[in-house]
Structure 1
C-alpha cells in the first residue's frame, strides 16, 4: 500500500468508527492502531522546522498589517479562510513579502524541498498488515463511499 493510501485509509476508518457490529468494530479499532503509527511517521516528515515556523509567523504579521479588518480590528477572512489583502495595500504587501523571501531564501528553499520530497514519498510503498473482516460482518447501514474507503480490509 502506498503512503498516500494509508493516509486516506486512516480517514476512512475514522468515518466508519461509529458503525455498529462487534467484529466490524474490532477490525476497525485494530486497523486504526496499525494505521495511526504509520500515519504519524508520514506526518512527521512534513512537520516544519522551528526556523520555518518563525518565517510563517513573520508572514502572518505582514498579512495582518495589510489585510481587510472588521470594526474591532480583527481580520476578515475570505471564504477559504485566507487573508484578504486590500487592493490599496497590495504593492506594499508584496514588497514586504518579497523582502522576507529574499532574506530567508535558504529557509524557503529548504521548505519547498521538504514539501516536494513529502509529496513524492506519498507514492512510496509501505507494508501494512490489515485485520480483515468477512463481508457478512459489514454493517448494513454502511454507505458505498464508506465501504470504498475501507475496501482493503474486506475479505
Structure 2
C-alpha cells in the first residue's frame, strides 16, 4: 500500500471514531438490569447525564432508590436536588415570598447507607434550597420581582440601603 492510501485510511478511521464519540456525547447511554436474590428483587439502572455524570442506581420492589455508585460528588447532587425542590415549592400557587423553612431536610436521601455521603448530600440540599425557592417564586411573580429589583437598585444608588 502506498503512503497516500495509508493516510486516507487513517483519516477514515479517525472520522468514524470522531463520529461515534460525538453520537455518544449527544445521546448518552442508559442501561437497565434486573436481579433477584432470595425474596428481594432489585433493578439496577445506569444513567449517564448531559454533564458526564454516571450513576448506578438500585431500585427495590417498594420503589426506594439507592445510589450504588456515582461519579458526581454527593454535595453537588444535593445542591442540584435542593435547587429543584425549592424551585418547585416556589412555583406553587399561594406560596409565600419567603419560605417557611429556608433550609429544610430532604424528604429522601439516596445516600442513607453511607453516613459521610448522607451528610454531604443533606448539606448541599440545604445550601441551595433557598436559591431555587426564590427563583421559582420570582418566575411566578415576575412583575412584583422586577419592581422590587428596580426599587432596590434605586435606593442603593441614592444611599438609602442598609
Q: TM-score range by the shorter chain?
A: under 0.3
Higher relative helix content: 1
> Taking structure 1 as the reference length, what is the TM-score of the superposition?
0.22
Which one has a bigger Cα radius of gyration? 2
* Higher RCO structure (Cα 8 Å, ≥6 apart): 1
